[in-house]
Amino acid sequence: MLTQVAEGVLFHQSEVLQNNAGVVQGRDGVLLVDPGLTNAEMTCLANDLRELGLPVVAGFATHPDWDHVLWHPDFGDVPRYGTARCAEFMEELRSDADWKARVAEGLPPEIADDVPLDPFGLITGLPAGTTHLPWDGPEVRIIEHPAHSPGHAALYVEDRGVLVAGDMLSDLFVPMLDDLRGTNDPIEDYLAGLRQLEDAAGDAEAVIPGHGSAGRAGEVRRRLDLDRAYVQALRDGGKFDDPRIGPSVAPEWEWVKDIHTGQLQTFAR
């Protein structure tokens, strides 16, 4: 089911991990951001768009995590963009003869047999420094930053006031720092990423995170502050007053606390 957050900007949410696929309406069709996760869910999304008379004309992957570089034949053979670093990462992964097996090992077991891997990670890297998406639609600013993963970028649909945030600003997951892929300082990289989002889109009227609920009036600022407080507490050994790891967390999301515990062990000083 498609849900509208602003005029011409919608999203479709998956059941597992609550991944959000962003949809931005242009002149001749839509930009599709991070679609997922299963064959059935992507077929449903393609059918919903078809019923609305909205063909997919371009795609974008916010970063090279498996659940953000998926695609489905029903979306068509259209340009699928990402940052240069995102595309390089995926090209290197796909160059391994056993890449499908490696990716499959990391999939949630309940959907592992229903995730399409043939079009996985086929991303066209945009030249470094590209500030806006090359497509025939509303201006979409590309905000590349060092937080969470190499080549991560959020998209800001400027005249609609909507930030499509990738794996940032979630009301479901705490900030997930990258300590596996060679970042110099994951904590300071994450704080830098938050500053870049704040500078570019701190006054956005709505946010579509990679996971969890879309937020409207005031939520962008609140989530920026919440994520910053979490990362600073991780850095400084402070107190974590965060509802995403608090006692009110739903049982099916208790494992998010495991992410927090692991990061506490890795990064806390």
- Judged against a pLDDT cut of 60, whether residue 22 lies above it is answered with yes
The CA distances from residue 81 to 18, 28, 90, 135, 145, in Å, are 22, 18, 12, 10, 16
User: What pLDDT, on a 0 to 100 scale, did the predictor assign at position 184?
Assistant: 76
- E strands of 61-202, at which residues? 80-83, 124-126, 140-144, 153-157, 162-166
Confidence of residue 180 (pLDDT cuts 50, 70, 90): low
Measured CA to CA, the distance from residue 145 to residue 164 in angstroms comes to: 14
User: Can you give the pTM of this predicted structure?
Assistant: 0.96
For the chain, percent of residues with pLDDT exceeding 90: 92
Measured CA to CA, the distance from residue 225 to residue 59 in angstroms comes to: 30
Among 247, 236, 243, 244, residue whose Cα is nearest residue 269: 236
| Torsion angle, alpha carbons of 94, 38, 105, 17, to 10 | 110
Query: Which structural domain range is residue 252 located in?
Result: 2-267
Q: Which residues contact 247 (CB under 8 A, 6 or more apart)?
A: none
Among 193, 221, 225, residue whose Cα is nearest residue 206: 221
- Report the CATH number at residue 47: 3.60.15.10
- Judged against a pLDDT cut of 90, whether residue 268 lies above it is answered with no
User: What pLDDT, on a 0 to 100 scale, did the predictor assign at position 267?
Assistant: 85
Q: Are 57 and 31 in contact (CB under 8 A)?
A: yes
pLDDT tens digits for range 66-124: 999 999 999 999 999 999 999 999 999 999 999 999 999 999 999 999 999 999 999 99
What would the DSSP string read from start to end of 183-207? -S-HHHHHHHHHHHHHHHHTT-SEE
- Judged against a pLDDT cut of 90, whether residue 220 lies above it is answered with yes
User: What pLDDT, on a 0 to 100 scale, did the predictor assign at position 181?
Assistant: 62
SS3 66: helix
Mean pLDDT of 163-184: 87
- Judged against a pLDDT cut of 80, whether residue 179 lies above it is answered with no
Among 152, 154, 171, residue whose Cα is nearest residue 218: 171
User: What pLDDT, on a 0 to 100 scale, did the predictor assign at position 269?
Assistant: 60
User: What pLDDT, on a 0 to 100 scale, did the predictor assign at position 262?
Assistant: 94
Work out the mean pLDDT of the chain and round it to a whole number: 95
Confidence of residue 182 (pLDDT cuts 50, 70, 90): low
- Indicate the number of domains in the chain: 1
